[in-house]
Structure 1
Amino acid sequence: MVGATDLAIELIDGDWSLSMLAGPAGWGLFFFFLVGTVGARLRREGGDKRLRRWANEHPWQAALPAAGGLLVLNTLAQLFLGDAGVFEAFFESLFPAAMLVTVAGVVGSVKKARGKD
């Protein structure tokens, strides 16, 4: 939904090119990984209990796989859909990945401190 909204804003802007898809793809990927990661952290049932217990004990490390996936996919989106080069696409993708680790780590730490699950 966020990516579609950003794409609609880009369409209204009027600068039509393939590079107008890079921003909405990045926003869509960020919120996809954010909702999936935080939603999994707040989920109380289902899944492997050992993995859930490890994620509860290590909230910051549990956020790293999602951030790595976001970093790789967002770098590819910026590289192939945008006008960025390899290094520029990578460095543009570092901030959203860091934000994902921060938000998911804080949510996991608060959940751990409150003793939920």
Structure 2
Amino acid sequence: MTLERGNAFTPVASATMIWPWGTATAAGAVTGAAHFLLNLSAFPVGGALTTAIFFFSLVGGGVALLGSKGDRRARRYAGQYPWRFAAGPALLGGAGTAVVSYIGAVLSGAVISGLFGAAFAGLGVAAVIWVILGIIGMVAGNKSA
């Protein structure tokens, strides 16, 4: 894929070209483990996984917006179009949360109602990540990269 003028450039491509994999993975692992250890309930794995997915997406997107590593054109795109860029990590976090929530609902016996609950949980997580990263991108995004 080329990033020349006139070609389509998606938020997903922008996010993957400047995504800080190590930092995002560490943030997800630490918060997921902490949530698991602090909340030993009936299904602690599902809650820990959704927490890890949320923070993986949020920290990864925030560091990608504020960091100076990665492709210069992708950083410029993320700074010029912060809401479009924020859609990539938001979709990742929302889809991951929805899948894990639905698996937990199916394991507890709520197949149909679990589908709706998982969809709303995923939409809520995606909205929160999108708003947070969009505001970070508007305020502190690197528009001159």
> For the superposition of Structure 1 and Structure 2, which TM-score range results when normalised by the shorter chain?
0.7 to 0.9
**Equivalent of 2:124 in 95, 100, 109:** 95
**Equivalent of 2:92 in 45, 55, 69:** 69
By relative contact order (CA 8 Å, sep 6+), the higher-ranking structure is 1
Q: Give unmatched runs, 5+ long, in structure 1.
A: none
Write out aligned runs for 1:43-82 (5 A). Answer: 43-44=67-68, 46-82=69-105
> Partners in 1 of 2:140 and 2:36 — Cα distance?
35
- Residue 41 (structure 1) aligned with residue 42 (structure 2): no
Deviation of the 1:66 alpha carbon: 0.8
> Partners in 2 of 1:26 and 1:39 — Cα distance?
20
Structure in which a larger fraction of residues adopt helix: 1
Deviations 1:20-60, CA, capped at 9 Å, x for gaps: 3221111111011111000000112x322222111111001
> What percent identity do the matched residue pairs reach?
30
> Partners in 1 of 2:45 and 2:123 — Cα distance?
19
> Partners in 2 of 1:25 and 1:33 — Cα distance?
12
Compute the TM-score of the two structures, normalised by the length of structure 2.
Answer: 0.68
User: How many corresponding residue pairs?
Assistant: 110
- Residue 8 (structure 1) aligned with residue 32 (structure 2): no
Q: Tell me the residue number matched to 2:137.
A: 108
CA RMSD of aligned residues (A): 1.9
